[in-house]
Chain A
Amino acid sequence: MADKMDLLDVEVWDGNMAASQAMRQAQIDVVAAYPITPSTPVVENYAGFLANGYIDGEFVMVESEHAAMSGCIGAAAAGGRVATATSSQGFDLMVETLYQASGMRLPIILNVVNRALAAPLNVNGDHSDMYLGRDSGWIQFNAYNAQDAYDLNLIAFRVAEDHKVRLPAMIHQDGFMTSHTAEGVLTLSDDDAYNFIGDYKPMNAMLDFEKPATYGVQTEEDWHFEHKARQHNDLMTKVNPVIQEVFDAFEKETGRKFDFVTNHNLDDADVAIVAMGTTVDTAMLVADQLREEGKKVGVLGLRVIRPFPFEKLAAALSNVKAVCCMDRSAPGGTVGMLYNEICGAMYNSANHPVITGYVYGLGGRDMTVEYLKGIFADGEANAAAGKPTTPLQQFIGVRGPKLNFL
């Protein structure tokens, strides 16, 4: 029986420690992991907890991230609670197995500490790896700070393992900006956290000798489409009600309210910044400062990236006149993902705000209060003009001649 840890009501944790502690409280059966900066401390802390008797499960050291996720898949199919963590190139190497995990409907929890993708090599945070995983059929939760990283881990286990869902889930946090920034995190006791998640309830366990199951079947043209359709149907219809249930239960337990989109003063706003990660928090700070100057601005944070919350997003933006979409990933010859998705969500809604996109923060480049003020100013000009006053895609914070497209 694992020892319990006495936690303060507020612990000073960085995002990595917050994720490790939530994983410890979940009492995972198997963690198979391969370390990579900046996510290394997630599994390093976890291995320490295990070595010190705070966890009963297994920690499997493997030779690559591909093997780490493969180990997780095997353990999850066998019928246990499973989680791991990775970043950047490690996430790249995991991609092949991410699709296996979601296709087999295995509720694995993956902490993705977001980091730039080489070349050139860079250990700092941007959203390139997060974007790479967005078609992989996983649920993707987005943390803005260490508190979120802790809370969303507890939430993710309960959502993913629900028998109506049975899909793997990622919790994204910004490399270094969240993962290595220590801040006060409100904690749950070990018992409360575990009880919130609940005991693992096996489903179709491969190691159920009374009803053995075959995982990883081959389907060709005659069956494959039906299986992918089933998976998509469940992502589109089954997941969000469960997420809502768990968000509600979490609010009841802790008083901390989550929603699919974070709506910060959007109801009477003319201008909205749409962002993910730490930028959501900083943009809210800037929006509050501008409100004091009488400017009608707000922020939309994308809390659940997949399944993408089309209706909730369109509703939150139903009164704004201009939207500035902030993508922290090089789009590789097109517009940013957020720009694209938000245009898609708004095109058939009643409101048609002016929508412009920004590419920023690549390789950990700082997104400052001053830059955000400039972006809100662009949005105000667009709202007043009723049309774009800038090119549709701008690069923010890059040295050299101003870089604009479209």
Chain B
Amino acid sequence: MANKGWDEFDAGAILFSFNDKVDNIATTLAEDRPYSPSNSFTASVGDWRIEKPIFNKDYCIDCQFCWIYCPDVSIIARDKKMIGIDFDHCKGCGICVEVCPTNPKSLLMFDEHKDDDECLAGWPEKDEKEK
């Protein structure tokens, strides 16, 4: 798109989210929507990450904090249950980890190139409060 000439744009720098007309878009899952190339959904920013968030469902209470706070809509939830992370759009900011209220946290940041199973295997224990 960046190489388009002046005569190839819509007048007014108007951008459309979808390629075609859409119906009931609110009830259509993101991956099923006909997003246009100018919509950020079609752009991957995964390679911006230095660290990645890893989700451990053993501790998650589905409070939805991460889903609410994620600035890039990269927390994938279905039926109000957290199921994972959209690594095409997550930039590794760590806000989800910051807001996670469980003990231990259900989301933690790890080196981008560290193996996921290795990350889960080394998950910390519950942090006992000092008496």
Contacts and interface: CB of A to CB of B under 8 A. Distances in A.
Interface of A: 103-106, 166, 204, 209-215, 217, 219, 222-223, 225-227, 229-231, 233-234
Contacts of B18: 211-212
Interface stretch (B2-10, B77-85, B107-115): B2-10
25 contacts: A103-B13, A104-B14, A105-B11, A204-B14, A204-B16, A210-B21, A211-B16, A211-B18, A212-B17, A213-B15, A214-B14, A214-B15, A214-B16, A214-B38, A215-B14, A217-B14, A219-B13, A223-B2, A226-B4, A226-B6, A227-B6, A227-B9, A230-B6, A230-B9, A233-B7
Contacts of B5: 226
B13 A211 contact: no
Interface SS of chain A: loop
Contacts of B7: 230, 233
A210 B23 contact: yes
A313 B76 CA distance: 63
B122 interface: no
Interface in B1-56: 2, 4-7, 9-18, 21-23, 25, 38
Nearest to A223: B2
B69 to A, nearest CB: 24
A106 B13 contact: no
A166 B13 CA distance: 13
A217 B2 CA distance: 14
A217 B13 contact: yes
A214 B12 contact: no
Interface of B: 2, 4-7, 9-18, 21-23, 25, 38
A105 B16 CA distance: 15
Nearest to A216: B13
B6 A233 contact: yes
The interface residues of chain B, by DSSP majority, are classed as: loop
Nearest to A204: B14
Nearest to A164: B11
Given A204-B10, A222-B2, A223-B2, A211 B15 contact: no
A211 B10 CA distance: 14
Contacts of B10: 204
A212 B13 contact: no
Nearest to B24: A209
Q: List 6 A-B pairs, minimum CB-CB distance, nearest first.
A: A105-B12, A229-B6, A226-B6, A210-B21, A214-B15, A104-B12
Contact of A231 (B11, B21, B23): B11
A229 B11 CA distance: 10
A226 B14 contact: no
A195 B5 CA distance: 38
B11 A230 contact: yes
A106 B14 CA distance: 11
Residue with the greatest number of chain B CB neighbours at <10 A, chosen from A104, A230, A231: A230
Given A210-B21, A211-B21, A211-B22, A234 B11 contact: yes
A61 B58 CA distance: 56
Contacts of A106: 12
A104 B13 contact: yes
A215 B12 contact: yes
Nearest to A166: B11
B23 A212 contact: no
